[in-house]
Amino acid sequence: DNIGNFSRKCFVRRGNDVELGNALKDLGFDLEQRLSIFTDLVTPTGIASIIDYPYLIDENTRLFFFTSFTKQTQLEDKHGKELRESSKGSQATHIIGEVHAGIDVIALIRVTKKQSDSIDRMLDHLRQCLLDGTKLDDKEQFDQFPPLQVYSNIPLIREQTKILSVYHSIRDMEEKR
């Protein structure tokens, strides 16, 4: 069954306010998913691979979160019961009950103390434009934006190293849906 819910979340956190495990919780990973990742039951991919971020996350780190949930497909109860019955005795540890489609992005930005206020204002402006669906004005201010590390379920977005490229990729994908 397709369930037509659409939702969008975008927020910015200072690094000293975030633990990577909680970042996954903030993006909607339930406890079972997080435990599977942290116990190496599954290999983290997409945004979940943020747990492998190799650098210290501190007050000079900004985390830009964006998630856009566009489609949910759920296993019908009668099929779920059949699947559970047929999997008894197997080594399966999980049964997929629903699939979510959308865009998930976490961008990590290292800033200097001198840059922090201006970067925070730019990130807040980007956040507001993405939430409101409005176009970004004054793009020149982003020319001095530091490089970033991007984690996403979308390979095109994951390859970006500039915040404006991330913004435009998200906007383009949302306009096409």
Task: Give the CA-trace dihedral at 145, 27, 168, 5, to 10 degrees.
Answer: -160
Q: What are 173's two structure tokens?
A: 């994908």
Instruction: Classify the C-alpha dihedral 162-173-157-151 as positive or negative.
Output: positive
| CA diameter of the chain | 61
Whether the per-residue pLDDT at 138 is higher than 80: the answer is no
Residue 102 has what pLDDT? 83
Q: Confirm if 166 and 160 have CB atoms less than 8 A apart.
A: yes
In whole angstroms, what is the distance from residue 174 CA to residue 19 CA?
29
Residue 83 has what pLDDT? 57
- Using CA atoms, how far residue 138 sits from 13, 117, 126, 142, 175, in Å, is 23, 17, 11, 8, 21
Tens of pLDDT, residues 142-176: 888 898 999 999 999 999 999 999 999 999 988 87
Residue type at position 122: M
